Amino acid sequence: MADAPTPYERFIQGILPENPVYRQLLGLCPTLAVTNGLNAAMTMAGATAFVLFCANIITSLIRDLLKPHLRIVIFTLTIATFVTIADRFLAAYMYQMSKTLGPYIPLIIVNCLIICRCEVCASKQSVVHAGMDAIGQSIGFALALASIAAVREILGTGMLFGMRVLPEIWPDWVVMVLPPGAFLTLGLLLGAVNWYGCKNKNNNEL
């Protein structure tokens, strides 16, 4: 593997060039479901980062023992363990937040972002690569969640992190905090990111 990405490349790729939400379109379930407020979105990003980091490290440590036909079972087992830890931890120390997020914390188990990173990076490269990859992808995921949640919370409630930022006159666009708002925001932001990417590419070619 002469041209396999270095740890630094893995790290930087995750943030924008291979952003999990805007570029790979992975992990869209939490992206759509918990982005009606920044607080919830950031807690979700934190929990996902913890699970992704731990799962990547463990997978990378045992990568030489993996059998091809049993690897997915092992990924899922590892991920499920860390998700349960994150879920119990939230219930014990951030009880209100754990109630707000409800079933979406246990649902991190089926977040395809994590299984994808285990498969693509951690099961093939060293612990350092896997760790850097997890950190990069987590930052990318957090940025994506934050951007969507900020748009939805400002337009939907006139608040950021639960604090008023728009004047009281602002008629709250309730639809933005409802499920349709998630699809609208994700679609528009995705379009904007793609448009920006295309423009840059064209400029470079000229």
Partner 1 sequence: MKPIEPMEPMKSSTLERIRNNYVVQAWLVLILAICFGGSLAGMQLALGPLIEANKINETLKKVPEMVLGAKKAEKLTKDQQLIIEPQTVEIEKNNRKVFYSVFKAKHPNGDPAGWVAKAVGQGYADKIEILFGMDNKLKKITGLFVLDQKETPGLGNKIMEEGWRQQFVKKKTATPLKVTKEGAKAAHEIDSITGATISSRAVCSIINTTIKDLRAPLSK
By CB under 8 A, name the binding residues for partner 1: 36, 62, 65-67, 70, 73-74, 77-78, 80-81, 84-85, 88-89, 91-93, 95, 99, 102, 156, 172, 174, 177-178
Tokens 């951690």 belong to residue: 122
Q: How far is the CB of 162 from partner 1 (least distance, A)?
A: 14
Contact yes or no for 173/156 (Cβ under 8 A) = yes
| Choice between 165 and 178, CB closer to partner 1 | 178
Region for 128 from its dihedrals, namely left if φ exceeds 0, alpha if ψ lies in -120 to 50, beta otherwise: alpha
DSSP state of 63: T
Task: In whole angstroms, give the CA distance from residue 40 to residue 68.
Answer: 37
Task: In whole angstroms, give the CA distance from residue 101 to residue 48.
Answer: 13
Tokens 């049993």 belong to residue: 70
Residue 163 — φ and ψ, nearest 5°?
A: -115, 140
Task: In whole angstroms, give the CA distance from residue 59 to residue 120.
Answer: 11
Contact yes or no for 30/142 (Cβ under 8 A) = no
| Choice between 175 and 192, CB closer to partner 1 | 175
Q: How far is the CB of 73 from partner 1 (least distance, A)?
A: 6
